[in-house]
Amino acid sequence: MKFARLVAVTLLFLVVSGFTDCYKPVTNSGLPKHIKTVAVPAFQFEAKGIRYKVETRFTEAVMREVIRRGNGLKVQGKLEGADAVIDGNIRDFAFTGVLLDREGRARVYEVNIVCGVTIRDVKEKKVIYDNQNFVFRDSFEFSQDPRSFFNEEDPAVERIARAFAESVVSAFVNGIGVKDEKK
């Protein structure tokens, strides 16, 4: 009986002291309240050279991340009917050997991708976020055994696209860098 009373008093103390507030999820975003639908048109590839579907991978990664973390935001590829637009471009793509083996062949490669992104509020006709210098890099190693060769460039680009999408959507959804006109 004393134990039950002690537990009840302890729980009452925790509720009254505010410890339950520590576990409430963040529900407010830094976005204007009218933004409910986000358009993510296909990213542009402005870098020199040709890389297979890099811009498609980045576009799809951003769309998936908005769906995953957008707190109910709708995502579409077309501009019609959107409240905000995430425009992106791949500004630079570099694939270079960074570590050589004993024979002078590159074994470790690094992929560097520089992206630009602009997020516009279509309803208010203003830019709410802009960063034209997102730099992402990843490295991978070629196997020394030719029988187990697997080109790791594609998985490296996928990892970079996911990291880019997480950064962009985090900034967008949380309102980091969103310009406040009230000041």
Q: What is the CATH number of the domain that holds 58?
A: 3.30.160.150
At residue 132, φ and ψ (nearest 5 deg) are: -100, 15
156 belongs to a structural domain: yes
80 belongs to a structural domain: yes
pLDDT value of residue 181: 47
52-91 pLDDT tens trace: 788 899 999 999 999 998 888 899 999 999 999 999 999 9
pLDDT value of residue 37: 93
20 belongs to a structural domain: no
- Which structural domain, as residue segments, surrounds residue 169? 31-174
Residue bearing the bigger pLDDT, 150 or 138: 138
141-162 pLDDT tens trace: 766 655 554 566 677 788 888 9
Query: Per mean pLDDT, which range of 5-14, 45-54, 76-85 is the poorest?
Result: 5-14
Strand, coil or helix: 69: helix
9 belongs to a structural domain: no
pLDDT value of residue 26: 44
3 belongs to a structural domain: no
pLDDT value of residue 113: 87
Distances in whole angstroms, Cα of residue 117 to Cα of each of 42, 132, 165, 171: 12, 6, 10, 11
131 belongs to a structural domain: yes
pLDDT value of residue 88: 93
4 belongs to a structural domain: no
Residue 45 has pLDDT above 60, yes or no: yes
99-112 pLDDT tens trace: 777 887 777 888 88
pLDDT value of residue 69: 86
The residue type at 115: C
Residue 55 CB neighbours (<10 A): 20
Residue 170 to residue 115: CA distance in whole angstroms: 16
23 belongs to a structural domain: no
Residue bearing the bigger pLDDT, 129 or 8: 129
Residue 178 has pLDDT above 60, yes or no: no
Domain count for the chain, please give it.
1
pLDDT value of residue 136: 85
Residue bearing the bigger pLDDT, 42 or 25: 42
